[in-house]
Amino acid sequence: MRITRDLLLKIANETVTERARADKSILAAYLHGSLLEGREPLLGGAADIDLSFVHIGADAPREIVRLTDDVTLDILHHERAAYEPARTLRQHSWLGPAVFYAKALYDPQHFLDFTQASARGMYDEPENVLARAEPLLQTARQTWFQFYNQQLTDDTARVRGFLLAVEAAANAAASLTGQPLPTRRLLLEFPARAAALGQPGLAAGLLGLLGARDLTPAQVTAWLPDWQSAYTEAATSGQTEPDLHPLRRRYYQQAILSLAEGGYPQEAAWPLLRTWAGAAAGLLPASPPHQRWLDAMSELGLAGPALEDRLAGLDAYLDTLEELFDSWKKERGVG
């Protein structure tokens, strides 16, 4: 089947219409994510459709629904209270941008009309930009302090904690100029965000933290079978985060492969490392898939004694970001 943006939008609308007809607790529904952000939604031929339903009542579990091998629905269910008061959404790091850019697909009571109008009001005012970005930087620094105080001890927690700190740091910077970046495209789009801040060196620094500056297509593709084994074993055990649902494996795999073979092996590093670490957290430490993951992380300098150098680099990177934030605030008279 030929997958196009128009087809994906049609599926989104039909899904919302069907769900709203069957479930009277649905107050509103909207589309968000890559279909609305000017990006090509397909990466390596795979895509997902991001939908959020707002309910009168409690949250429901996140759903991942297979449409084809290459296309899934990623459906979030929120209770109405998560959006109230609406004006505070402009300061939410993740939900705020989602609502700001959302396309309403079902809104009979004009709940989203009001919510979006409130969220969009003064959205780009410096104090609101800072409110969305600064908590991410604080999260990264707090994680670094966990390492400093030796609160993270086993290899899996240390590698995963390091990567989560790197992710938070990158999205803190990205949030000063736009939305936080999704996993598959973080390293692909971060250089433009860094350049917009007048700090192009942040992009090279990010690759350095990940040990990915010299990553080759051959290295990435050689790791993929071990990544797949870890992902499949962990996802089917139900011991991983929702992002690593079994139906999302191809969504990540095709992106990693496409980037690596398309001349962007370094940019493939983030979706590979982020999801592999998430999978490793759901594996038994003594299992072969876990050991192969640990070997790969050691090769990149992200595990074992070499991680200490990466942590020193993370400290310096966060210092640079903190100085950037101080300058940004001073120039705009906020903070």
Encode pLDDT of 272-299 as tens digits: 999 999 999 999 898 999 999 999 999 9
Where do the structural domains in the chain lie, given as residue ranges? 5-120, 126-318
User: Residues 129, 180: contact at Cβ < 8 Å?
Assistant: no
Confidence grade of residue 3 (pLDDT, cut at 50, 70, 90) = confident
Rg over CA atoms, the chain: 20
Give the span between the Cα atoms of 152 and 144, in whole angstroms: 10
The CA distances from residue 58 to 51, 64, 80, 103, 122, in Å, are: 17, 19, 8, 23, 30
**Residue 1 above 70 pLDDT?**
no
Count of all residues that appear for the chain in the document: 335
| Residue 146 binned pLDDT confidence (cut-offs 50, 70, 90) | very high
pLDDT digits (tens, 9 = 90+) for 186-211: 999 999 999 999 999 999 999 999 99
Angle, helices 186-196 vs 269-280, to 10°: value is: 120
- CB neighbourhood size of 320 (10 A): 16
Superfamily (CATH) of domain 5-120 = Beta Polymerase, domain 2 (3.30.460.10)
DSSP for 173-211 reads: HHTTTSSPPPGGGHHHHHHHHHHHTT-THHHHHHHHHTT
CB count within 10 Å of CB 319 equals 11
Per-residue pLDDT tens over the stretch 306-319 = 999 999 999 999 99
